[in-house]
Amino acid sequence: MDDVTVGSSLSTIADDITTITTIGPSYGIRLNSLRCEVISKTSAINHDATRDFQQETTATAMLLGAPLSTGSALTLVLLNNSLSAPKLLHTRHAARCVDHHLLKEFDTQLRSGLLTICNVSLMVDQWL
């Protein structure tokens, strides 16, 4: 897993991190705590689960090169997460359910969302 974002109260985040570090290795998933970040309004987050994480404030934090303090960060998050969906679509098309009617609906929704996020238009042959 390259990236994961967890957000909630500190206790919930700590529980999620504990779950990932405890159960994750059995699925081949592990956190590299030296590359993990805790982003909060203040950089004073003290919890055993996040002790090795880098501390960032919302005013200085960056996501994919964009400051989190601007609206562009949300767009980048949506774009980044929507780009992993074609992998799912490819897997679904390669599976036995290749002619399932929901695949076309999923593809239509994915294309529509991506076009809206990027503010572009693509012809059908450009989407393929």
pLDDT, residue 2, reads: 60
pLDDT, residue 76, reads: 62
List Cα–Cα distances, 122 to 12, 32, 127, in angstroms: 41, 38, 6
pLDDT, residue 105, reads: 83
Kindly calculate the radius of gyration of the chain based on its CA atoms and give it in whole angstroms.
18
Cβ atoms < 10 Å from Cβ of 39: 19
pLDDT, residue 24, reads: 86
Cα–Cα distance measured from residue 50 to residue 46, given in angstroms and rounded to the nearest whole number:
7
pLDDT, residue 81, reads: 64
- The amino acid present at 25, given as its one-letter code, is P
pLDDT, residue 78, reads: 62
Cα–Cα distance measured from residue 101 to residue 112, given in angstroms and rounded to the nearest whole number:
17
- The amino acid present at 68, given as its one-letter code, is L
Give the residue ranges of the chain where pLDDT is below 50.
1
pLDDT tens-place string over residues 76-105: 666 666 666 666 666 666 776 667 787 788
Cα–Cα distance measured from residue 87 to residue 85, given in angstroms and rounded to the nearest whole number:
5
pLDDT, residue 102, reads: 79
> Does residue 45 contact residue 55 with C-beta atoms inside 8 Å?
yes
pLDDT, residue 85, reads: 64
pLDDT, residue 48, reads: 83
